[in-house]
C-alpha cells in the first residue's frame, strides 16, 4: 500500500473509541491523519475537514509523520506497537496515550529511550465525547523539546493541556488518583441512593442532597491537604470519636436494610484503628496516618 505523505501528518495507532475520537479531532482541525488499527477499521462518516487515511501496519502509519500518537488498551499492547514502529519512526515524537500504572509508564519510557525514540507520556482525563471540545483535559510528560512538537495535537484535542514535567510516572499517578476519587464517589452515590431508596426516598428526590454534600466535600479538600502536608491533626472541627459514631450509624443503617455497608465499613474500620492510636479529640483527618506510614515503611524497606 502507498501512503500520501505530508510533513504535518500525525499518525494515530489504535482506533478504539478513544483513538478514533482523537483521529477525528485532529482531522476536524484540518490535519492529515494516517491511522492504523490491529483489526481493520473504517470511519463511517468523513471528517468535517482534513483527512483520515487508514493503512495496514504501524510502520506504514508513521512513515514521514512528524508526530505519532499511540492509543491502545494498555502498556502491554502499546509496547508491541512501539517495537513494531521503532525502525520506521525516525525523528518523529511518539506520544503514548494508553493508560498504564506509573511503574508501567516509566518502564515504557525507558524502553523507548533504549530504542532511541523521542517519547512523551500522555493521560487522557475525559471521555471520548469531550475530545476536541473546550472540556478536553490531557496530561503530558516528557522532555521540553519533545513536548514542543505536540502543539498541533494539543490544539486539535482542545480544552486543557497540562504539561507536568519529564517524570513519566506523573500523568498516570494523577490520572489514577482522580479516578480513585471518581469511582469511590460513584460507588458511594449508588450505595447511598440504595440506602435512601430502602426508606422510600427515590433517587431523583435524593439527587439535590447528594449534590450538596459533594460541594461540602469539595470545600473540605484544602483542609485535608493542609493536615496531611503538615501531619498535624488539631483543627478541632471534626473529632475522631464523633466521626466514628457517624460511620457506625451508616454501617448499622445499611445492615438494617440488608445492604452491605461497603465503603462505610472500610472507613469505619480505619477510623476505629486510628482511635486505638490517637486521642479521641484528634481530627478525623488523622486516619491518613495509617496510609502515610505504610508508604514510608515500604520506601524504607526498598532502600
Ligand atoms: N474511552 C475512554 O473514554 C477513555 C478515556 C480515557 C482514557 N482512555 C484510554 O485510552 C486507551 C484506548 O481506549 P479505548 O477507549 O479506545 O478502548 P480500549 O478498549 O481500551 O482499547 C481498544 C484499542 O486497543 C487496541 N488493542 C488492544 N490490544 C492490542 C494489542 N495487543 N495490540 C494492538 N492494539 C491493541 C484495540 O485494537 P483492536 O480493535 O484490534 O482490538 C483498539 O484499538 C486506553 O488505554 C484507555 O484507558 C479511554
Helices (H) and strands (E) in the chain, counts: 11, 8
DSSP sequence for 103-171? HHHHHHHHHHHHTT-EEEEEEE-S-GGGTTSTT-EEEEES-HHHHGGGHHHHHHH-SEEEE--S-TTHH
Probe ligand 1: pick from 13, 15, 16, 124, max atoms within 8 Å of CB? 16
Shortest-distance atom of ligand 1 to CA 80: 32
Nearest CA to ligand 1 atom 37: 38
pLDDT computed for residue 75 by the predictor? 97
Q: CA neighbours within 13 Å on the CB side: how many for 127? A: 1
Q: Closest Cα partner for 150 from 72, 86, 81, 68?
A: 68
pLDDT computed for residue 7 by the predictor? 56
Shortest-distance atom of ligand 1 to CA 127: 3
pLDDT computed for residue 186 by the predictor? 97
Cα of 59 from ligand 1 centre, angstroms: 19
pLDDT in tens, 224-270: 999 999 999 998 889 999 999 999 999 999 999 999 999 999 999 99
Under 8 Å between Cβ of 7 and 66? yes
pLDDT computed for residue 227 by the predictor? 94
What span, in angstroms and rounded, lies between the C-alpha atoms of 162 and 138?
A: 6
Name, in order, each residue with C-beta under 8 angstroms of 199's C-beta and a sequence gap of 6 or more: 257
What span, in angstroms and rounded, lies between the C-alpha atoms of 103 and 121?
A: 12
- pLDDT averaged over 10-residue windows placed end to end, the chain, 303 residues: 56 97 95 94 80 92 94 97 93 97 98 97 96 97 96 96 97 96 97 98 98 97 95 91 97 98 97 96 96 82 73
Domains and their CATH numbers in the chain: 9-168 (3.40.50.720), 198-302 (1.10.1040.10)
Q: Can you read off the three cell numbers belonging to residue 30?
A: 484540518
Cα of 96 from ligand 1 centre, angstroms: 12
Question: Which pTM was predicted?
Answer: 0.89
pLDDT computed for residue 302 by the predictor? 77
Shortest-distance atom of ligand 1 to CA 39: 40
Helical spans, DSSP H, in 6-124: 17-28, 58-62, 75-85, 102-114
Cα of 72 from ligand 1 centre, angstroms: 4
Using only C-alpha atoms, what is the Rg of the chain? 24
What span, in angstroms and rounded, lies between the C-alpha atoms of 109 and 83?
A: 12
pLDDT in tens, 13-41: 999 999 999 999 999 999 999 999 999 88
Amino acid at each position: 500500500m502507498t501512503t500520501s505523505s505530508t510533513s504535518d501528518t500525525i499518525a494515530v495507532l489504535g482506533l478504539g473509541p478513544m483513538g478514533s475520537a482523537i483521529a477525528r479531532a485532529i482531522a476536524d482541525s484540518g490535519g492529515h491523519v494516517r491511522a492504523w488499527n490491529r483489526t481493520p477499521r473504517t470511519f463511517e462518516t468523513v471528517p468535517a475537514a482534513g483527512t483520515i487515511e487508514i493503512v495496514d501496519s504501524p510502520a506504514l502509519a508513521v512513515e514521514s509523520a512528524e508526530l505519532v500518537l499511540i492509543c491502545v488498551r494498555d502498556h502491554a499492547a502499546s509496547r508491541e506497537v512501539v517495537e513494531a514502529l521503532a525502525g520506521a519512526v525516525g525523528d518523529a515524537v511518539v506520544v503514548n496515550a494508553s493508560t498504564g500504572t506509573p511503574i508501567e509508564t516509566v518502564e515504557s519510557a525507558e524502553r523507548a529511550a533504549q530504542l532511541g525514540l523521542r517519547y512523551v507520556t500522555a493521560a487522557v482525563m475525559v471521555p471520548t465525547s469531550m475530545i476536541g471540545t473546550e472540556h478536553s483535559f490531557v496530561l503530558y510528560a516528557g522532555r521540553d523539546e519533545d513536548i514542543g512538537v505536540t502543539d498541533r495535537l494539543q490544539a486539535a484535542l482542545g480544552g486543557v493541556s497540562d504539561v507536568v514535567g519529564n517524570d513519566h510516572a506523573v500523568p498516570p499517578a494523577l490520572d489514577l488518583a482522580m479516578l480513585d476519587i471518581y469511582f469511590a464517589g460513584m460507588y458511594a452515590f449508588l450505595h447511598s441512593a440504595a440506602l435512601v431508596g430502602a426508606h422510600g426516598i427515590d433517587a431523583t428526590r435524593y439527587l439535590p442532597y447528594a449534590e450538596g454534600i459533594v460541594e461540602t466535600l469539595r470545600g473540605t479538600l484544602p483542609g485535608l491537604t493542609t493536615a496531611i502536608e503538615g501531619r498535624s491533626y488539631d483543627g478541632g472541627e471534626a473529632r475522631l470519636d464523633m466521626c466514628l459514631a457517624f460511620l457506625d450509624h451508616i454501617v448499622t443503617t445499611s445492615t438494617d436494610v440488608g445492604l452491605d455497608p461497603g465503603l462505610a465499613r472500610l472507613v469505619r474500620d480505619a477510623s476505629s484503628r486510628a482511635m486505638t492510636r490517637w486521642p479521641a479529640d484528634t481530627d478525623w483527618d488523622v486516619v491518613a496516618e495509617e496510609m502515610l506510614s505504610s508508604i514510608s515503611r515500604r520506601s524504607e524497606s526498598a532502600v
